Amino acid sequence: MSVDEAHTRPDSTSDRTVEALGKLSEALEVVEDARGDLYSFHRKSGMADLALGEAVDLLREAGHSELAERIDTDLVGRNTLPGRWTFQLVEEYDDGYYAAFREHERRARDELMGGRRHVFEAEMKQDRRTHGRPGHEATPADLPDGEGGG
């Protein structure tokens, strides 16, 4: 069995420290998920605005120019929030909260784990897997010859 040094706790690191950094990593994963939702919101809002523009063009072609003009001047290209389109929301989130969160998580790992990531999960894997059973290898290096990808 190979030892996965990249995911092994440094000597004298307490269980509580590993648990705390595992929880910090979990929180960052939730922030990453929220960021994905924000990007989805950004893309969907942009797609809606483009489809709205097409609807306005079709309304004009169908002879509904007054209705088309009202929608065009009030809604097409309108800010999502005061003064902002969604790309501005994404940039502010990325440059503010998201960047700060990632930096704090990285610094905590650097200070307490020597930069190692997912130590809590790696230890959970060791506890939960069935040692010696196919499909439960510790690392790809433990796979039978030719299956680990080298």
pLDDT tens digits, residue range 37-96?
999 999 999 999 999 999 999 999 999 999 999 999 999 999 999 999 999 999 999 999
Task: Quickly list H helices, 114-146.
Answer: 119-128
Buried b (16+ CB within 10 A) or exposed e, 47-56: eebeebeeeb
pLDDT at 1 over 70: no
Per-residue pLDDT, 149: 55
pLDDT at 10 over 70: yes
Contact call for residues 141 and 148 (beta carbons, < 8 A): yes
Query: What 3-state DSSP class applies to 81?
Result: strand
What is this structure's pTM? 0.81
Angle between helices 86-93 and 15-61 (to 10 degrees): 170
